[in-house]
Structure formats: C-alpha cells, structure tokens
A and B are shown apart, each in its own frame.
Chain A
Amino acid sequence: MLAFLLLSLLTPRAECTVLSEDLDKASIAYMNAQEKVRLGQAKEGLAELRALSRSAPWFGQTQWAIAKAEHARGNFVWAYMAYKRYTYAPAHPDDRTETKAKLKELEKKEPAFAAYADAEQAALRKDWPKTLELVQLAIDRKAKFPLAYRLLGVALAATGKDDASVDAYTRYIELDPDAPERVELEEFFADYKAAK
C-alpha cells in the first residue's frame, strides 16, 4: 500500500498542450476568475475578468465569462455588451449560436438593446442617418449604455460631425473604462486636442 502511495505521488502529471506561455497565463487567470464567480465572489471574479480583458484582449473567452456572470447578476447592459463583443471574436459555432440567442433574449427584454441592434445593422449597411436615429433612440431608452455611445461616435464621425463624435467617444470611455478601444481612443483624443 505504501509503495502504491509513493508511486502515486511520484507519477508525473499528464502533459498538456500549451499553445503559448501567454495563453497559459491567460487560461489560468481566466480559470481562477471563473472559479471565484462560481464560488459566489462575483465582484472579485468580474474585476479579474475585466483586468484579463485589458491585459489579454485576444483571449475571447473573457467576454463570454463576463457576459455570463453579468447576466446572472442581472446587469443586462454589461451582459449585452460582453455578448456583443464575444460575437465579434471568432468563436466556436455552438458558442456563437448560443450567444446570438442570448442577445435576442436581451433585445426582447430591453427595447434599448433592440434599438441598438437595429442601429448596428443600419451602420453595417452604412445608412448613417438611420443609424443616428436608432442609436439616439437606444440612448434615450437607456442613458448609460456605453456601446450605444460608441456607435453614436462612429455615425457622427462618418457624417463629419467631428466634435460631437469625440464627445460621444469620450462618453463611451467614461462609461466603460475597460473598453477594448480605450488606448486607441485616448491616443486619438490627445492628437485631436493637439490639432485643434
């Protein structure tokens, strides 16, 4: 029996395929954060997931985990945004289908999300007047909806309303300090201010 125990202790663990050191670190950070969420330490776990989304924006699963946790907590704006961001990442087809279903569910629940979804479709068709109309409707329905300000910034920039676009992007960053485009936008704000 003792020999068996010693053998068990000395047996090396199964080697796992690690794609890269960064992925390894991100995976562990993701797992730990997920575990905290699962153990009921949602606030702490979400803070770690957000930190991970900043340090490893290429790790698409973070958005999925944020979406799930925020959805469970009833923070639908943040859940919707994270589901959206997850759909922008190339994902497994099953996950994509589930994410889309979640987005539809939230769009049914909250008219601001439905308006945003329509505005996004209009923007993808480059129908900027329609985009502006619909995204403004989304903001009227939910004033603290960061993604709507991002789309508003895009539409305003596309229609040449530069100052208003910068204001919208500024509001976007204020409302979502963890936005993936934050660094890019802040650099732009500095250039824009210098150019004025």
Chain B
Amino acid sequence: MTRALFVLACVLVAFAAEARADEIEGEVLLILPKLKRKGPQPSSQPASSQPASTQVVYLPATLPIYTQAPPPEEVRLRDRGFHIGLKAQGFAQSGPLRGGPGGALEIGYRFPMIGRRLGLMLEPSFTGLWGSDSARASIGWWLAIPLGLTYHEPAGPGLFRISAAASLDLVSSDTTLADGPVHDQFLTVGAAAGIGYVIAAGPGGLILELRYRLLAYVVAGTQNVGHGGTFSLGYSFFL
C-alpha cells in the first residue's frame, strides 16, 4: 500500500514537472478597448514594432557596469578596502624641539560593513626635529607609530575623513648647552586625532590631513611630554 502511494506520488510529481515545462514564456501585451470614433486609434503594438526608445538593451544584470562606463570617482573611492599611502608632512610644536619636515607611510583598511566608512589605520612616520633659543640648540628625530580608526564620509567628489589613534613614539635629540652637548632619548605613549580629505586622482587618491598630536605619557627617558600639529599631503594607492 505504501509502495503504491509512493509510486503514485512520483507519477504526480513527474506530471507536475511536465506541466511546468509547458509554461509559455512572454509578456501579455496591452490590449486597449476600441475607440468608437474615426481616425487613428491608439492600440497595443507588438513588441517588434515598438519605437526605438522603448527597446530593451541586452545586458546581463550581473555584469559589472563599469565594463561599459567608468563608475563615478566617489564610488571608486568608496569601494576600495585596502590602501597604502605615502605622505610628506610638517610638524610644529612649542618647546626647544620646534619641529620639522617628515614622511609617513599609511596602511589602512576600511571594513566592508556600513559602506566601508569605518577603517583601521597604521601610520608609521618619521619626523626631523630642530630648535634653538638663547640657551641651547637642539636637533633630533621622532619616530611615531599610531594605530587607530578612521571614518570616511562621502562629501563632494571625495571623502571627508576623521582619524583617531593611540601612538607609540620614540624621540631622540642632541642638545648643545653652554656646558656641553646632551644626548637624550625617550619613549612615550601618545594620541593623535585628525581631519582630512581624500580626492580621487590616478590609480588612487590625494590625501590632505591636519592632525593634532599629543605625547602624553613618558614610558622611558627624561624629556617633557608635549603636543603639536602636523600638516600632511600624500598619495594613497587603492588595492
């Protein structure tokens, strides 16, 4: 009995499949009521006689559209996750080591969630330092390794960006005092916060950024903590 029911079910399934295969494909074209007056009558037209403006373009929807047209710059900027950037920067602060030029390498990744707005940033930078007053002349360098978060918001043709990072800083300086030279080296933990703008150019984007940097806590060494500002201009490659 069970076997008979199973066979019957199989037959019904096969029948249903066959019925589905008989489906007619196509669109039901408009049929309009006939107008009860003389003159040309608007009526439904077969698809083949449709005006050119209503013809459908043969394009697969899954085909990336940029094979036909390049996507807008802002879309291109937003779609990229990884970027590696090189920056030239200037640093200035108050104190004996007033600041100087430097360079930075930025490695960033924007997470796919929330439209690739939020990202992670690692930006090692090296800055030369010098300064002098009536009592001394100083020269040195500053290696900073900030690790933090970035937030990118589409604005105009590019992206406005905000960054915040915790930073590990190594500063080395040689100061010439009246009674001789003094070498000093110290390690601090600091913070950095910046605002910037990224605009598409070539295979990547131009970055302009202003950043506030704080050397907050001395881990090793004797120098005072301090703070200053960085202006950087760079170029980032999207990968």
Which A residues have a C-beta under 8 Å from some C-beta of B? 1, 5, 8-11, 13, 16-19, 23-24, 27-28, 30-32, 34-35, 38-40, 57-61, 64-65, 86-92, 94-95, 120-121, 123-125, 150-151, 153-154, 157-158, 162-163, 165-166, 169, 180-181, 184-185, 187-188, 191-192, 194-196
Cβ contact within 8 Å between B24 and A86: no
User: What is the distance, in angstroms, from A171's C-beta to the closest C-beta of chain B?
Assistant: 14
Task: Name the interface residues of B11-44: CB closer than 8 Å to any CB of A.
Answer: 23-37, 41-42
A-B contact list, 9 entries, CB within 8 Å: A5-B235, A11-B203, A19-B68, A32-B75, A64-B61, A88-B56, A124-B26, A162-B33, A166-B33
A140 to B31, CA, bound (A): 23
Given known A-B contacts A40-B115, A191-B35, A191-B42, A86 and B61 have beta carbons under 8 A apart: yes
> Are A91 and B65 neighbours in the complex by a CB distance under 8 Å?
no
Docked pose: A8 CA to B72 CA in angstroms: 19
Knowing A18-B69, A31-B71, A39-B115, the reply to whether A92 touches B63 (Cβ < 8 A) is: yes
Count of A-B contacts with CB under 8 A?
145
Query: Known contacts A8-B235, A90-B56; is A187 also within 8 Å of B33 by CB?
Result: no
What B residues does A184 contact at CB under 8 A?
A: 30, 42
Known: A32-B75, A90-B58. A17 touches B68 (CB 8 A): yes
Q: B residues near A, CB below 8 A?
A: 23-37, 41-42, 53-63, 65-72, 75, 78, 86, 114-115, 201-204, 235, 237
Partner of A121, one of B24, B42, B70: B24
B204 lies within 8 A of A8 (CB): yes
Which of B53, B58, B65, B114 has most chain A Cβ within 10 Å? Answer: B65
**Contact across chains for B69 and A28 when beta carbons are under 8 A apart:** yes
Chain B residues touching A, majority SS: loop
Does A92 lie within 8 Å of B61, measured CB to CB?
A: yes
Closest to B59 in A: A61
Q: Which residues of B contact A24 (CB under 8 A)?
A: 68-69
Q: Is the CB of B60 within 8 A of A157?
A: no
Residues of B within 8 A of A125 (CB): 24
Q: A123 and B28: CB pair below 8 A? A: yes
A37 CB to closest chain B CB (Å) equals 11
Query: Which residues of A sit under 8 angstroms from B72, Cβ to Cβ?
Result: 28, 31-32
Q: Is the CB of B68 within 8 A of A8?
A: no
Which residues of A are found within 8 Å of B63, using beta-carbon distances?
Answer: 92
Q: Is there an interface contact between B34 and A162, defined as CB atoms closer than 8 Å?
A: yes
Cα–Cα distance between A90 and B66 once the two chains are bound (Å): 20
The residue on B at minimum CB distance from A147 is B28
In the assembled complex, the CB of A93 is this many whole angstroms from the nearest CB of chain B, namely: 8
Cα A141 to Cα B52 in complex, Å, equals: 37
> Are A57 and B54 in touch, CB under 8 angstroms?
yes
Whether A60 lies near B57 (C-beta < 8 A) is yes
Q: Does the CB pair A59–B28 fall under 8 Å?
A: no
Across the interface, do B34 and A188 meet the contact criterion of CB distance under 8 Å?
no
Q: Which of B59, B69, B203 contacts A60 (CB 8 A)?
A: B59
Complex formed: what's the CA distance from A19 to B201 in Å?
A: 25
* A32 CA / B33 CA spacing, docked (Å): 40
**Closest Cβ of chain B: how far from A161's Cβ, in Å?**
8
Name which residue of chain B comes closest to A21, CB basis. B69
Task: Compute how far the CA of A125 lies from the CA of B23 in the bound complex, rounded to whole angstroms.
Answer: 10
Residues of the B chain whose Cβ atoms lie less than 8 Å from the Cβ of A27: 65, 68-69
Of the candidates A11, A35, A150, A185, the one whose C-beta lies within 8 Å of that of B75 is A35
A195 partner, pick from B26, B37, B70, beta carbons under 8 A = B37
Q: Contacts of B27 on A, CB cut-off 8 Å?
A: 88
In the docked arrangement, what's the CA distance between A145 and B162, Å? 46
Do A94 and B34 touch (CB < 8 A)?
no
Among A16, A24, A61, A95, chain B packs the most CB atoms within 10 A around the CB of A61
CA distance A95 to B203 in the complex (A): 32
